[in-house]
Structure 1
Amino acid sequence: MSDDSPGDPPADDSGGDPSETDVDATAGIDYDGRARDVLGFSRWWQIVAAAGMMAAVSPYQYVWSSIEGPLAESLDLALPALGAVFSFYVVFQSLSQFPAGWWRDRRGPGALTFFAAILAGGGYVGLAYATSLWQLYVLYSLGAVGVGIIYTVAVNTAVKWFPDRTGLTTGIGTMAFAGGSALVVPYVRANATVAAYADVLRNVGLAILVVLLVGAAVLRDPPEDWFGDDETDDSDLAASLRGDAYSPTEMLRTWQFWLLFAMFVAMAGADLVVIANVVSVAQHFGFTALVATIAATLLPISAGISRMILGEVSDRFERKYVMAGSFLLAGLFRLGLVGAGTADIGIAFVGMVLLAMFFSSPLYVFFPSILSEYYGAEHSSSNYAVLYTAKVGGGIFAGTVAGYLVAAYGWVPTVALGGGLAIAAGLAAFLLRPPSGSGLLA
């Protein structure tokens, strides 16, 4: 489908879900061989580079709860004043993805990734020298732009090079975004003092810079004829993989996009309220610092592993039903988290945190995968960047709204509300079906 004229998508004669058709269609296309001809090496190295970059920028999201205390103490700030820093991060990380995706779809990932390396690495290094609240806002926001660029580049590297294994490969990249920080959290918490945190921030920032610069040198996009052409025997199979090429404007005219957007807001809110506040929630229930540290350290590991496992599951079974079940369980385990905390059972609390994150975190695999199935891979970076702006709503809930709710009602109803949002998103997934040209909104 061109940018100018939204024609009707090809009819699906299978009567089944597109994800099932996609899996079967790959049998006739040797993508590994094509990639070696283009790259000179295995296409999996593109995923390794993307995953490494995702792991490098993960501290911005997953280490914040461990560094905000020393920052507040050093700068003589009240902790609530730092709540807006995480909200700014989510806003800038999300909104930067559309221009980044638009550029990448047209110019490739090289220069864009280099620019992101300067922003993300420099942002963390700059935090070590910040002396006021406004500097924290600016530095974390600039770094967030770099994170947003890396995120959309990495996720769509999987979509572009692996149309046959979208769930698994996006799962690997987003797993690294969550799990990579597990290597950093113990180091940060062991040095989370006013005297030591500046060195920690500077070291983490330099590591981010180096990894991203290496990634910028490795990443590239497949050629325009990657999916085949009319002269090849497998062009029909390639077309079924590519899907109908909806532009962002055309995508916005389908009701499926708006349902996905609402589901993304709900799941991002449920996800981030635990990520950003797991230490505070543990302290609220009176658990020891050891319990809080274990929960904060294992949380990104659980979130990361789940993205690869459930991403692969969603490649093999009908994706929307895997998504629905995952989101419903994410909501139920959030309610279990509240129950374990109320009952003062530390091991159960940690277990509920890990299970809640295991089933909510794959939202960052399900959404780009189902979006590429519904709207095609040609504009995948731009399209997913548009959908990803829904994370702004989730970030506002996890930061500003959650702060208000905690002050007014406490942590129990706030976390429980996050569970309710996840359950609502799971139920909504049952309504999804592929769009068609005749279903475009006027």
Structure 2
Amino acid sequence: MSKPDGQTDGYREVKDVNGRVYRVGETDQQILGRSRRWMVILPWFAMMAISSSEYAFTSAEETLSSAHNWHGSHIFWLLGVWVFFQAAVAFPVGKLRESGRLPVKAAMMLGAIGTVLGYVALAYAPNVFWAYLGFGFFGGTGAGIVYATCVNIVGKWYPERKGGKTGFVNGGFAYGSVPFIFLFKSYMDTSNYSGLLLVVGLFLAFAVAASGFFMADPPKNWWPPHVDPLRASADDPRIRRSLEMNPPAVKQYTPMEAVRTGILPLMWFCLLCTAGINIFGIAFQVPFGDEMGFAGGIVALAMSLKAIVNGTGRGVIGWISDRYGRRRTLIFVCFVLGLSQYAVYFSGSIGSLPLFLLASMVSGFGGGAIFPLFAAMTADYFGENNNASNYGLVYSSKLVSGLVGSGLGAVVVATWGYGGAFILAGSIGLGAGCLAFFLKQPGRNLRDLRQESVALSA
């Protein structure tokens, strides 16, 4: 006896009016043998493990410069090179992951290897070339593989409410660095740095590998059975509101189709601007605080608060975007990020410690919130099946923003001083907020949204 169209063992495939396919009927327990919540928890642990390489790196600046006799600018360019390769691998890793040639476990093992090589290079590099190779190339590449894998797997398992989940996982990339900021700033010195960095690298690599061992992808086009994809309805009011404010993509766009819409390039440029500001703050807040006369412990506290708010803000902003819409939330975040740069400089220039700490936290919130917003927005606009590649293209803007925010930022500080650099960063943030007004979901017009709103309320 033949089965109905689209019906297969354990699941069936349905199409909406735009021709998009949904695979429904299978639960997460049937596919994984456990709750899909593990596909949030495990990537979150892995993201925390790779975060110290970016967010805690400049806290080790003085020790590394003294121990290796590196010129001060090398520290900032090392971070820039790390960010460059961390972003550079996003698109190729996405293509390999989506083609099935790079399974999730293999990707995470490669990320673990890159993580430990990065720390070994910082500990034992005989000259700065090996630091660029080990930390910048291998460490950045390993972190990029982990980042691309973890961020995109969440949206696949939570296609109906991806903002908060993606934000939570993305947040680990910031606040996971907090203990290492204090460790590198307050405890590490030229007498113990090599052994300490080796132990830290081995510990973090093990965390990445252990998390990745238990991760798995859902089938293509998978959709949770308790949510009707054709009506975008569910018993949970949170899901209904999220789908109303952020309706699913009209089709599964390939990377080139996404580029041809014109929206993906605009997203790329907006992320370039905002990510550059975030990297600038990470690279220069510690030396700026030192120059303004704040004690080392206070500067470490400010950087830690920035990392904590940066990370927790990613989860909060993801939840907010589920309720009020991705684009609207992104515009708000861009303006907050821009204005906070003015506040950081002003508070430091007048020597106000409470205001400096507050401005640092607000800046951290804005700098962190942009990443889960763009990750979720990419899936909303272009679909989940090719999201690793599509978001890889958007995220590739960090190739430029890392070098601009860290390396070129050092040139701007040297030429214009901290005042000119922070004012320029703030103005770029406000400009990005204006550009975000032009982001809209391809293939969907206002009438479509009104019809879907009626269906949701029915």
Deviation string, structure 1 residues 187-232 (Cα, Å, up to 9, x no partner): 2222231111112211110111111111221111001251389xx9
1:406 partner letter: V
TM-score after normalising by structure 2: 0.85
Assess, with a 3 A threshold, how the Cα gap between structure 1 residues 225 and 416 changes in structure 2: closer, same or farther: closer
- Correspondence for 2:206: 210
SS at match of 1:293: helix
Q: Which amino acid aligns with 1:322?
A: T
What's 1:226 paired with? 222
Q: Is the 8 A contact 1:75 1:132 kept in 2?
A: yes
1:280 maps to what in 2?
287
Report deviation, 1:290: 2.6
Q: How far did 1:171 drift?
A: 0.6
> Given residue 397 of structure 2, which amino acid in structure 1 is its aligned partner?
A
* Sequence identity (%): 26
Alignment of 1:83-162 (within 5 A): 83-107=76-100, 108-140=103-135, 141-162=137-158
Quote the residue 1:357 is aligned against. 364
Q: Return the letter of the residue paired with 1:316.
A: R
* CA distance in structure 2 between the partners assigned to 1:57 and 1:189 by the alignment: 18
Q: How does 1:345-424 map to 2 (within 5 A)?
A: 345-424=352-431
Selected match of 1:173 from 169, 194, 217: 169
Aligned letter for 2:347? Answer: A
Deviation at 1:243, TM superposition (A): 4.0
- Do 1:126 and 1:202's aligned partners in 2 also have CA atoms closer than 8 Å? no
Residue of structure 2 in register with 1:15 after alignment: none
CA distance in 2, matches of 1:11, 1:41: 33
Distance 1:436-1:235 versus aligned 2 partners, 3 A rule: closer
For residues 251 and 395 of structure 2, the distance between their equivalents in structure 1, rounded to whole angstroms, comes to 20
Q: How many residues align?
A: 412
Separation in structure 1 between the aligned mates of residue 64 and residue 297 of structure 2, nearest angstrom? 21
CA distance in 1, matches of 2:444, 2:332: 29
Equivalent pair of 1:284/1:411 in contact (CA under 8 Å): no
Q: Per-residue deviation at 1:111?
A: 1.1
User: Structure 1: how far apart are the matches of 2:89 and 2:436?
Assistant: 27
Structure 2 gaps, min length 5: 1-15, 233-242, 446-458
Q: What's the offset of the Cα at 1:117?
A: 1.0
CA distance in 2: counterparts of 1:382 and 1:75, whole angstroms: 38
Residue number in structure 2 paired with 1:251: 258
State the 1:279 CA deviation.
0.7
TM-score, normalised on structure 1?
Answer: 0.88
Please report how far the alpha carbon of residue 68 of structure 1 lies from its aligned counterpart in structure 2 after TM superposition: 2.2
- Is the 2:161–2:322 contact (alpha carbons within 8 Å) kept by the matching residues of 1? yes
Partner of 1:18: none
Alpha-carbon distance in 2 for matches of 1:144, 1:392: 11
The aligned amino acid for 2:110 is F
Per the alignment, residue 296 of structure 1 pairs with 303
4+ long deviations beyond 3 Å: 9-12, 232-235, 237-243
1:344 aligns with 2:344: no
Cα separation, partners in 2 of 1:437 and 1:314, compared to 1, 3 Å: closer
Q: Over aligned residues, Cα RMSD in angstroms? A: 2.4
Structure 1 unaligned residues grouped into runs of 5+: 1-8, 13-25
**Aligned-pair distance for 1:152?**
0.6
Q: Counterpart of 1:236 in 2: which secondary structure?
A: coil
How big is the shift at 1:126?
3.3
Q: Which amino acid in 1 is paired with 2:44?
A: A
What secondary structure sits across from 1:199 in the alignment? helix
Per-residue CA deviation, residues 372-405 of structure 1 (Å, 9 max, x unaligned), is 1110111000110111110122112112211111
Match of 1:48 in 2: 41
For the structure 1 residues 311 and 234, does the alpha-carbon distance in structure 2 shift closer, same or farther, using more than 3 Å as the test? closer
Which piece of structure 1 moves more, 381-390 or 179-188?
Answer: 179-188
